[in-house]
Amino acid sequence: MNEAKLIACHECDLLQWKAPLSESGTARCPRCRTILYRSLPATYDRALALTLATAVLFAVANCFPIVELWVKGAFVETTLFGAVSSLWGDGMWPLAGLVFVTTILMPSLSIAAMVYLLLPLHMGGSPYRAEFVLRALRHVTPWGMVEVLMLAMLVAIVKLEHFATVVPGFGIWAFGAVMVLFAASAVSFNPADVWAHIDGVSNENVVSLVPEKSGTTPTAARAGLFVCHDCGLVSKPLAHAHVGICPRCGAVLHLRKPGSLARTWAFLVAAMVLYIPAVLLPVMVSTTVFGTRSDTLLSGVVLLWNAGSWALAIVVFIASIVVPMLKIVSLAYLAWSTQLRSPSVPQKRTHIYRAVELVGRWSMLDIYVITILVALVQFGPVATIEAGPGAIAFGAVVVLTLFAASSFDPRLIWDALESEGE
């Protein structure tokens, strides 16, 4: 067998051989059922075409207004960058920075990285320092949240329709197209194919032998092998080394994430503390000729419900109230059970971790809604909307739970079974 086909599951560390798949097939880990790899029929040309189209439309979406608002003859419009600038001008720079990073900077970096990788491949060459760009792309991509922004725009339009004439701008249609094309380009682009194309590993530390079979589960850690999370390569450590360097992409390697549980608990405790002011303090303050109204996360949901937008009220309630709370509870359960080295239901606990990673980004919904409303509702003494202190606390909760999820190493769940089987 070819040593290059030895792989390890990133969620349970099970060593296995990479087998060929039928077209559009999917390989799952036999132990934890996570997706290991897919067989994608798409070519570099298709991925490049979709990415270039995404780049053009993303530029257009950021240049044109996303929403236009008419109130008693007064007219206001805003672009996404204009909405971020409004938050910055109001002194809400933490929120402005968070929105800018997740809706403009990270998507831009993802698009630029994919074009940088795919264009030379389309022309028959190889991109310079492709391993660095591929590693950066893996870390940047989860922080681009265009799909969450699109839903937030729809929620903001529904809220604004109750007291003004709302006209969706050209930018919102462009963002809708960007969301679709982004998803299509992500499906067409397979980093594993790029790694295979540029693979020039000629290092004595690359695994060339299958670990010896024993009565225990063959995991990379038990075999003393490092698994690179950036490029997927399984390699041997240097003699007496507790850390290593991936011979293919240069990433620093560890058998397990260093200080995984300690960092997870630190982020979780901080999120728990900030969740209280995030729910109790106003996230938005509205001022009209009739007075000032402060809205918390929950009162915003009630407003949508009373206005007859029941579906959106349920979506916002789930994204803003339920999801953050469930993320905190779920991660606390995972960290606690793992710290106790509990061997019970490891597959279900892995599924919980996977679900937390999947839904975590949707908690940004309310932050984006507030950003759009603050930028649009600026009519002096007639009506103004400002972000409240609860919005900063809530944004911090979202970011902290995302950091907690990324710090947790799911392979620790399965390590308890290893020690139990010895």
List, for residues 69-92, the tens digit of each pLDDT value.
887 777 888 999 999 999 998 889
Residues in the chain: 422
User: From the centroid of its chain, how far is CA 163?
Assistant: 34
Residue 7 lies in a domain: no
Pair 196, 269 in one domain: no
Indicate whether 392 pLDDT > 90.
yes
Pair 307, 406 in one domain: yes
Pair 298, 403 in one domain: yes
Confidence label for 136 from pLDDT (cuts 50, 70 and 90): very high
Query: Domain limits at 313?
Result: 259-422
Pair 184, 285 in one domain: no
Pair 59, 130 in one domain: yes
Per 3-state DSSP, the chain is made up of helix, strand and coil in percentages (nearest 5) of 55, 15, 30
As a whole number, mean pLDDT of residues 271-285 equals 92
Tell me the torsion sign for CA atoms 332, 335, 340, 344: positive
Least confident of 196-205, 244-253, 317-326, 379-388: 196-205
Pair 195, 265 in one domain: no
Pair 403, 266 in one domain: yes
Residue 90 lies in a domain: yes
Pair 317, 168 in one domain: no
Q: How far, in Å, CA of 52 to CA of 3, rounded?
A: 36
Of 221 and 53, the structure prediction assigns the larger pLDDT to 53
pLDDT of residue 212: 47
284: nearest Cα among 90, 99, 147, 422? 90
Pair 285, 415 in one domain: yes
Cα–Cα distances (Å) from 356 to 12, 145, 338, 408, in that order, read: 17, 16, 16, 11
CA atoms within 13 A on the CB side of 96: 16
Residue 213 lies in a domain: no
Pair 182, 270 in one domain: no
Cβ atoms of 407 and 264 closer than 8 Å: yes
Q: How far, in Å, CA of 383 to CA of 224, rounded?
A: 65
CATH code for position 354: 1.20.140
Least confident of 70-74, 191-195, 287-291, 399-403: 287-291
Residue 4 lies in a domain: no
Last residue of one domain, picked from the residues 254, 280, 300 = 254
pLDDT tens-place string over residues 206-264 = 444 444 444 455 888 888 888 888 888 888 876 665 677 888 888 888 888 999 999 99
Pair 168, 298 in one domain: no
200 contact partners, CB below 8 Å, separation of at least 6: none
Could you please report the per-residue DSSP string of 325-377? HHHHHHHHHHHHHHHTT--S-HHHHHHHHHHHHHHGGGGGHHHHHHHHHHHH-
pLDDT of residue 4: 47
Pair 185, 64 in one domain: yes
Residue 17 lies in a domain: no
Residue 118 identity: L
pLDDT of residue 133: 92
Residue 216 lies in a domain: no
Beta bridge partners of 286: 293, 385
User: How many domains is the chain partitioned into structurally?
Assistant: 2
Residue 290 lies in a domain: yes
As a whole number, mean pLDDT of residues 62-75 equals 84
Least confident of 32-36, 210-214, 310-314, 317-321: 210-214
Residue 143 lies in a domain: yes
